[in-house]
Amino acid sequence: MIDEMQTRDSLKMYNRLVERCFSNCVDTFRRKNLDKDEEKCVSKCTEKFLKHSARASLRFNELNAEAAGMPAPPQ
Q: How far apart are alpha carbons 17 and 50 in whole angstroms?
A: 8
Per-residue pLDDT tens for 9-38? 889 989 999 999 999 999 888 888 999 999
Rounded to two decimals, the pTM is 0.68
Q: How far apart are alpha carbons 21 and 70 in whole angstroms?
A: 37
Per-residue pLDDT tens for 56-75? 888 888 888 888 886 655 66
